Amino acid sequence: MPNEPLAIGDLVAWLEAGSKPREQWRIGAEHEKFGFAKDGLRRPGYGGPGGIEAMLNGLTRFGWSRVEEGGHLIALERRGAEGLSASISLEPGGQFELSGAPLRDIHEICSETGQHLVEVKMVADELGLGFLGLGFDPMWSRSEIPVMPKGRYDIMRAYMPKVGNLGLDMMLRTCTIQANLDFESEADMVLKFRTALALQPIATALFANSPFTEGKPNGFLSARANVWTDTDPDRTGMLDFVFADGFGFEAYAQYALDVPMYFVKREGRYLDASGQSFRAFMKGELPALPGERPTLSDWADHLTTLFPEVRLKRYLEMRGADGGPWSRICALPALWVGILYDAPSLAAAWDLCRGWDIADHERLRRDVTRLGLRAEVAGRSVQDVARDMVAIARQGLKNRARFSGGMVDERGYLSELEDIAESGLTPAERLLEAFHGRWGGDITTVYAEQAY
């Protein structure tokens, strides 16, 4: 007998199934980085002796398993303690991404990140490659960046210019750090979502690290964050409805149903459904697959093609930070865990931003891309809000009392953010000082100073 067609309740239940009791909460960290050839600094292509495929093959010596698509090696997976999986995947321009396993504390996150970066450096050194921690490619134009052989990216590259001016930059020239966190219930999800979404631009300012384009200052502190303001209005932004009365899993599902699709995956192939409606798919009226109805796997795939500043799947994804050095890869999950995993800290953080209105959210999102910590919101400087936000996170990590083997808690991972907030200078502004000063306007120096 064929399966019953999905109803909206099934889609909502899929989201709600992510709810976990507090003792089962975990933390996931993801980060992307730009590869470059040490000889000439070019972004590596997929094939060849110094290419991304060779990088992936080289990493298999560390226990990573191969994932192929259409005969191409496009990702790696590795199971760790408790059977939890991490993966290495490719972004469209060959940006190398670690999607870490769901771990218990920031100590484990930072250890996992460090192990990954050591493994990557060992293989990269053999291939004459390096990897760079920035939010936007500092040197190369779109046309100079090789494209990776993944089916979904071909579909996205064709669709992006139809809906925004900077979508191809997003695909090819940006890198981010991301933290993924759990929720206990619908009410817990709602409070975390609202707080994290409102404060995401403050994190953008603290992590702003992309002031260069094609060798010169670009007028932004976070060019990466600016890209998202002109990528695709249907699937990006601050999601005003999250702050409205009655928000919950169903409201998010209804939003996702109205975001145009990119693709449907069948038998390992991506079928182009760009611009088509998941609502029509639910009725068996999808032009790409007439008469066929979606599975929950199709729903899960569709949710990965939404790109708001905070994204809901079966956990919440914090998406507002530029790529950066190892220390800030550890700092981002520390910031959000301190705020979202301690009830008093979550309440205090919501108090910071609960009075902001929709206009405040939208203005702040745009202003921090250029002004960083000098932006203002609701009569306060972003620097002042950032100080408060980091202090709240510090208290939350103290309350968590998760200690390393050396009996040190998680608060130390915030030290760099405390310095940034106190100084009022974003990482991007420090890079600009170096560019105009000791670098003598030579952008190639960034590859030496910001490489892992």
Structure tokens at 299: 């729903």
Structure tokens at 235: 């699937």
Q: From residue 30, how far is each of 105, 110, 136, 176 by CA, in Å?
A: 14, 11, 16, 8
Q: What is the pTM of this model?
A: 0.97
Judge whether 36 and 44 are in contact, CB under 8 Å. yes
- pLDDT tens digits, 417-432: 999 999 999 999 999 9
Residue 371: give its domain's CATH number: 3.30.590.20
Burial classification of residue 442, based on how many CB atoms lie within 10 Å of its CB (0-12 exposed, 13-18 middle, 19 or more buried) = exposed
Structure tokens at 310: 């905070």
Q: Is residue 233 part of a domain?
A: yes
Q: How many domains does the chain have?
A: 1
Give the whole-angstrom CA distance, residue 383 versus residue 195.
18
Q: Is residue 102 part of a domain?
A: yes
Q: Is residue 59 part of a domain?
A: yes
Give the whole-angstrom CA distance, residue 208 versus residue 440.
22
Give the whole-angstrom CA distance, residue 165 versus residue 184.
39
Q: Is residue 106 part of a domain?
A: yes
- Which residues sit opposite 265 in a β-bridge? 270
pLDDT of amino acid 239: 98
- pLDDT tens digits, 84-121: 799 999 999 999 999 999 999 999 999 999 999 999 99
pLDDT of amino acid 3: 66
Residue 380's domain comprises 8-18+27-259+306-449
pLDDT of amino acid 80: 79
Give the whole-angstrom CA distance, residue 34 versus residue 140.
11
Residue entry with tokens 């409606």: 277
Q: Is residue 184 part of a domain?
A: yes
Burial classification of residue 252, based on how many CB atoms lie within 10 Å of its CB (0-12 exposed, 13-18 middle, 19 or more buried) = buried
Q: Is residue 278 part of a domain?
A: no
Look at strands 236-237 and 307-308 and give their pairing.
parallel
Q: Is residue 296 part of a domain?
A: no
Structure tokens at 392: 């709240």
Q: Is residue 267 part of a domain?
A: no
- Which residues sit opposite 87 in a β-bridge? 77, 99
Q: How many whole angstroms from its chain centre is CA 424?
A: 24
Which ranges of the chain have pLDDT less than 50?
1-2
- Which residues sit opposite 85 in a β-bridge? 79
